[in-house]
Amino acid sequence: MGDEKFLLTLTIDGRKYPLKIDRSEEEAFRDAAKQINNKIKRYRLAFGGNNSELNAQDFIAMTAIHTGVENFFLSKKTDTKPIEDKIRLLIRELDEYLKK
């Protein structure tokens, strides 16, 4: 039941975006929209607000770049492969030691 699809309409920078998502993902999508709107607002304030030469698309692009960089660093942080490799090595060494 938690994965039934439904239409969720999110508002990003005043524009509505309908998305068909799993109900179990609703909280994540709503939180993402909130974070995006907050970042857009911060960029708009940092670059002169409504008096800026930048337009809505510019602020959305800046937010997308910022989010992409955050995701890049998060993916590096959660890379467990080096730890898994070390554990496998230790298990092999233990197995060899116990065989003696």
Q: What is the mean pLDDT of residues 13-17?
A: 95
Q: What is the mean pLDDT of residues 7-19?
A: 96
State the Cα–Cα distance between residues 40 and 46, nearest whole angstrom. 10
pTM, two decimal places: 0.69
State the Cα–Cα distance between residues 72 and 66, nearest whole angstrom. 10
pLDDT at 5 over 90: yes
82 CB-side CA count, 13 A: 4
pLDDT at 78 over 90: no
Quote the Cα angle for 25-12-31, to 5°.
35
Q: What is the pLDDT of residue 26?
A: 96
Token duo for residue 54: 């930048």
- The amino acid that residue 82 corresponds to is P
